[in-house]
Structure 1
Amino acid sequence: MRISARADYAVRAVLELAVRQADGPVNPVKAEEIAGEQGIPHKFLEGILGDLRRAGVVTSRRGGGGGYALAREASRITVADVIRAVDGPIVSVRGERPTGLAYTGSAQPLLPLWIALRANVRKILEGVTVADIAAQALPEPVRSLAAEPAAWVDP
């Protein structure tokens, strides 16, 4: 599985908004500020923020005091919400959801494998909120998986 640059940038942008709003509502943050703080190309970020706005993850306000803010509390936005907003389904096989696939013959065991992979990825990404990351408080199952030495080594 590959996390796209678009998904990585989106999570980082939403996290930047969450950290700035951690102490309560603040003025909207300009895209230029987010881009500069996170090292994200500004034009690319504008498209990402548009997708996040259409998905209801962020809101935007035009004008001199305008910018972006979270559309709801960071504790109600999962990493999966952010990734889906910019990349679509979390796990796909050849661009299709595993549940829409059919295999025959010796390939039949692949379908439950792809579905299990999708379920596990979703379990992690839907179980971590932007607030968890902002508070540096990842859930225990995520910390345990990340602490496994094999998690950091390519086979």
Structure 2
Amino acid sequence: MITWFDALLVTLWAVLTALGARRGLAGLAWGLGGVAVCLLANALVGGALAAGLMALLLSVGGAFVISRLIPNPLEQPWHLLAGAVGGFALGGVLISTLALGFPLDVRVTAAGRSGVYPSASLPPAIYHAVHDSAVQSGLRQVWGAGPALKILLIPDQVRAQ
């Protein structure tokens, strides 16, 4: 079922794809660089505040380098497509992180501990929107994915284990 939460996520993804296309080759570097910065910051730094600060510093440095290396980002028509790919990649990471970023409940049963996502303690409107989300349902395999994808999308859960 598609919820209002799905509509917001897809709209955000479309906006980032369009921003990447508008920037051309710089959008490709911006999008792929943004994914790399997120992965590096989450992998190397333990806390959210420190990771955010590191990501900010890397982003400023990356923006400076991109502006120097790509002076004319829209010389060819295919540059728009390249930029859209970068925006699509960064948008995919962002909406995945948002879809999986809500708290989860840990239930202890005779079979052991298990996580239930999202937490039932969320306000009802948000809980139902996230629980019934088609985007979030499609991302459930991330919980059992490899360490790199987990560090990129759900770093707090990797650190909690």
Report if TM-score (shorter chain) is over 0.5: no
TM-score by length of 2: 0.32
More helix per residue: 1 or 2?
2
Q: TM-score, normalised by structure 1?
A: 0.33
